[in-house]
Amino acid sequence: MNTAPTFRGGIHLPDHKRETHHPIETCTLPDQLVLPLSQHAGTPAQPCVAVGDRVAKGQCVATAEGEVSAPVHASTSGSVVAIEPRPHPSGRALPAFVIEPDGEERWATDLTPLEPRQWSPENLKQHIRDAGIVGMGGGTFPTHVKLTLMEQHSCDTLIINGCECEPWLSGDDRLMVEQGDKVLDGADILRQALGVQRTLIGIEANKPEAIALLRHASRKFDAMEVICVPSTYPQGAEKQLIDVLLGRQVPSGGHPANIGVVVDNVATAAAVSDAVRYGRPLVERVVTVAGPALATPKNLWVRLGTPLRTLVDQCGGSREEIGKIIVGGPMMGQSQLNLDTPVVKGTTGLLLFGSQDVSLREAGPCIRCGRCIAVCPLHLLPATITAYAERGRFDGALTYGALECMECGCCTYVCPAARPLVQMLRYAKAEIITRQKECLT
Ligand code: SF4
Ligand code: SF4
């Protein structure tokens, strides 16, 4: 299979994809669903139903607040029994709806199905906004905002990201294999909403079945091409995918729109098709449940708001004492305190590790080997930035590009001194942003 050239830096990880490449099953309905008002990048949504109200599946329960925000919809029919702080994947307790299902799965009819070719780009963008669609690869940036940003730039290419480069995760792969037509239909609707001619679909070489199926199915679309890209982590990062597919570099501090590109994930494209063709807002997603401590790895269709515990139960529970719970992939995912956290729009995976899988090695001093620099896909100097951050010299960390860091974790993975580089980079970024805000107020 012809494969596009790779980007500079990055690492090759054991991908564990074979362990999880199973057909998608439907996750059971839990006793309670917990739907946070904040499931997207931007301002939390504002409740538009009250405690005691009965809601239908797909009914809007919280509206988008401000420009960068997204509405939240009930993921089943039932009653709202509370709106209160509940555990959130970010680690904090954040306001959320608690819905007790009635088991009827009654759909709301708020969102009218559209025939995409009969509607203007503005209508399609509004529909995508009303359906609460956000980047489902984990970024959770509201999709309609990405589409609107392009109005200020000259855009020529839509890229659909089917890389799924984190180990274990295979939900996007299964979605492409099982619902490839829907992914391509959503991609074509996004292309229409953007008003561009060309769509490129980048898929990592370790997904040969998805590549073959989508290549075949894409023949009926104009100017749509499926491109096999190398399986190198983090190939799924926007900047690296654009570099490999188009040879263009996103400028420092800029975004893909600056170079005429929009990147959307394959699951986002499928959600767009559901919203436009069938009037179905974003209320469920595919989650890969895996890890060495899990009994039976699976891919599950999960209603948003389902507690992680329900997913683990459906996978036969844990087969040993759990040492670490991660939501997302092992490189960029977030550790969880327990399994009470709900699945949200950006939940790509749930990984369980045993105590012996968790490294407790103490960090040593930097030996100046340069490995972190060699693997950084953004050509940063992780050892230098973190040395400044450790000394409270955030001006120096900023000068060396701390805010550019995408927190991919490559530097931490290769560091022989076990230095917590990505953790220090996150800390430095948070400090710099806080100080910048304080200067503005
Ligand atoms: S975490 Fe940041 S500094 Fe480290 S390799 Fe990734 S982008 Fe570079
Ligand atoms: S990889 Fe670790 S030890 Fe090597 S230069 Fe970077 S921080 Fe220092």
Residue with CA at minimum distance from ligand 2 atom 6: 372
Say if residues 191 and 261 touch (Cβ distance below 8 Å). Answer: no
Say if residues 175 and 270 touch (Cβ distance below 8 Å). Answer: yes
Strand-pairing partners, residue 354, are 322
Atom of ligand 2 nearest to the CA of 386: 7
Residue 237 in this model has a pLDDT that exceeds 90: yes
Amino acid 440: pLDDT: 67
Residue with CA at minimum distance from ligand 1 atom 8: 376
* Ligand 2 neighbour 367 (Cβ under 6 A): yes
Strand-pairing partners, residue 351, are 290, 326
* Ligand 1 neighbour 380 (Cβ under 6 A): yes
Alpha-carbon gap, residue 98 to 84, rounded angstroms: 8
* Mean pLDDT score, 88-113: 94
Residues 260, 392, single domain; the answer is no
Tell whether 316 is covered by a domain.
no
HSE (CB half, 13 Å, CA atoms) of 119?
21
- Give the Å distances, CA to CA, from 230 to 4, 31, 100, 217: 7, 43, 45, 22
Ligand nearest to the CA of 407: 1
Say if residues 125 and 193 touch (Cβ distance below 8 Å). Answer: yes
Amino acid 153: pLDDT: 81
Atom of ligand 2 nearest to the CA of 373: 6
Domain endpoint, select from 278, 299, 331:
278
**Locus of tokens 């492409």:** 176
Amino acid 1: pLDDT: 65
Q: Decide the pairing of beta strands 33-36 and 60-63.
A: unpaired
Sign of torsion over alpha carbons 17, 18, 19, 21: positive
Tell whether 288 is covered by a domain.
no
Tell whether 138 is covered by a domain.
yes
* Ligand 1 neighbour 11 (Cβ under 6 A): no
Instruction: Return the structure tokens found at 95.
Output: 């306001």
Most informative mutation of 11, 361, 366 for ligand 2 (most atoms within 8 A of CB): 366
Residues 129, 234, single domain; the answer is yes
* Ligand 1 neighbour 10 (Cβ under 6 A): no
List pLDDT tens digits, range 178-192: 999 999 999 999 999
* Mean pLDDT score, 277-301: 97
* Ligand 1 neighbour 408 (Cβ under 6 A): yes
Say if residues 351 and 290 touch (Cβ distance below 8 Å). Answer: yes
Residues 118, 246, single domain; the answer is yes
* Ligand 2 neighbour 368 (Cβ under 6 A): yes
Alpha-carbon gap, residue 109 to 280, rounded angstroms: 9
Distance from the alpha carbon of residue 235 to the mean position of ligand 1, in angstroms: 13
Domain endpoint, select from 255, 278, 301:
278
Alpha-carbon gap, residue 315 to 289, rounded angstroms: 8
Residues 123, 256, single domain; the answer is yes
Give the domain range for residue 255. 112-278
Residue with CA at minimum distance from ligand 2 atom 3: 366
Spell out the alpha helix ranges (H) of 5-65: 17-20
90: Cα separation from own chain's centroid: 14
Q: Give percent of the chain above pLDDT 70.
A: 99
Amino acid 110: pLDDT: 78
Distance from the alpha carbon of residue 272 to the mean position of ligand 2, in angstroms: 43
CATH number where 122 lies: 3.40.50.11540
Ligand nearest to the CA of 403: 1
Distance from the alpha carbon of residue 407 to the mean position of ligand 1, in angstroms: 5
* Mean pLDDT score, 12-29: 95
Alpha-carbon gap, residue 432 to 424, rounded angstroms: 12
Ligand nearest to the CA of 404: 1
As a dihedral over the C-alpha atoms of residue 279, residue 282, residue 286, residue 290, rounded to 10 degrees, the angle is: -170
The whole model's pTM is what?
A: 0.95
Most informative mutation of 11, 361, 362, 372 for ligand 2 (most atoms within 8 A of CB): 372
Residues 264, 379, single domain; the answer is no
Band (437; pLDDT cuts 50, 70, 90) = confident
* Mean pLDDT score, 73-99: 97
| Averaged pLDDT score across all residues of the chain | 95
Residue 441 in this model has a pLDDT that exceeds 70: no
Residue 83 in this model has a pLDDT that exceeds 80: yes
Following DSSP, what letter does each residue of 352-385 receive, concatenated? Answer: EEEGGGS--PPP-------HHHHH-TT---HHHH
Residue 360 in this model has a pLDDT that exceeds 80: no
Residues 260, 401, single domain; the answer is no
Q: Strand 60-63's sheet: what is its strand order?
A: 46-47, 60-63, 72-73
DSSP state of 245: H
Tell whether 364 is covered by a domain.
no
Nearest of 150, 254, 260 to residue 200 by alpha carbon: 260
Residue with CA at minimum distance from ligand 1 atom 5: 376
Q: Decide the pairing of beta strands 72-73 and 54-55.
A: unpaired
In the chain, the N- to C-terminal Cα span, in Å, equals: 55
Atom of ligand 1 nearest to the CA of 372: 5
Alpha-carbon gap, residue 193 to 190, rounded angstroms: 5
Tell whether 298 is covered by a domain.
no
Residue with CA at minimum distance from ligand 1 atom 7: 405
Residues 116, 242, single domain; the answer is yes
* Mean pLDDT score, 272-299: 97
311: Cα separation from own chain's centroid: 18
Following DSSP, what letter does each residue of 264-305 receive, concatenated? Answer: EEHHHHHHHHHHHHH---S-EEEEEEE-TTBSS-EEEEEETT
Tell whether 100 is covered by a domain.
no
List pLDDT tens digits, range 378-426: 999 999 999 999 999 999 999 999 999 999 999 999 999 999 999 999 9
Tell whether 248 is covered by a domain.
yes
Band (177; pLDDT cuts 50, 70, 90) = very high
Ligand nearest to the CA of 331: 1
Residues 116, 244, single domain; the answer is yes
* Ligand 2 neighbour 370 (Cβ under 6 A): yes
Residues 228, 116, single domain; the answer is yes
Amino acid 256: pLDDT: 93
Nearest of 143, 124, 160 to residue 71 by alpha carbon: 143
Number of domain units in the chain: 2
Atom of ligand 2 nearest to the CA of 367: 3
Distance from the alpha carbon of residue 369 to the mean position of ligand 2, in angstroms: 5
Give the gyration radius of the chain's Cα atoms.
Answer: 21
Most informative mutation of 233, 235, 380, 388 for ligand 1 (most atoms within 8 A of CB): 380
Amino acid 352: pLDDT: 98
Distance from the alpha carbon of residue 233 to the mean position of ligand 2, in angstroms: 19
Q: Cis omega (within 30 of 0) on the bond before 234? A: yes
Tell whether 193 is covered by a domain.
yes
Distance from the alpha carbon of residue 422 to the mean position of ligand 2, in angstroms: 12
Domain endpoint, select from 245, 278, 311:
278
* Ligand 2 neighbour 387 (Cβ under 6 A): no
* Mean pLDDT score, 47-72: 97
Phi, psi of 239 (to 5 degrees): -65, -40
Sequence length of the chain is 441
Ligand nearest to the CA of 364: 2
Amino acid 189: pLDDT: 97
